[in-house]
Amino acid sequence: MKALIEFLAKSLVAHPEAVRVEEHSSERGLVLELTVAKEDLGRVIGREGKTIKAIRNLLAAAAAKTKAKVALVIQE
């Protein structure tokens, strides 16, 4: 899951070297924290949040195969 988010984010941004994905466990499941460069934040979120919604949908589909619960959080 971490590799999927990292690949998608690096494909979208202008500064792929600044992309970081961290995994944390919680009671609700796995939490992935995505950090990008400040000027790339808009590219990852997209207009009206459409890009991040699409990324979260892909993540949910990948998590459904393993029956895991995964959340994606963008860190500023």
30-58: pLDDT as tens digits? 999 999 999 999 999 999 999 999 999 99
pTM of the model: 0.88
Q: Are 34 and 56 in contact (CB under 8 A)?
A: no
First to last CA, the chain: 21
Residue-wise burial string across 47-64, b where 16 or more C-beta atoms lie within 10 A, e elsewhere = eeeebeeebbeebeeebe
User: What does the pLDDT read at residue 76?
Assistant: 78
Q: Which of 33, 31, 34 is nearest to 69 (CA)?
A: 31
Here the CATH number for the domain that contains residue 22 is 3.30.300.20
Q: How confident is the model at residue 3 (pLDDT cuts 50, 70, 90)?
A: very high
pLDDT at residue 28 is higher than 90: no
Residues spanned by the domain of 31: 2-75
Number of structural domains the chain divides into: 1
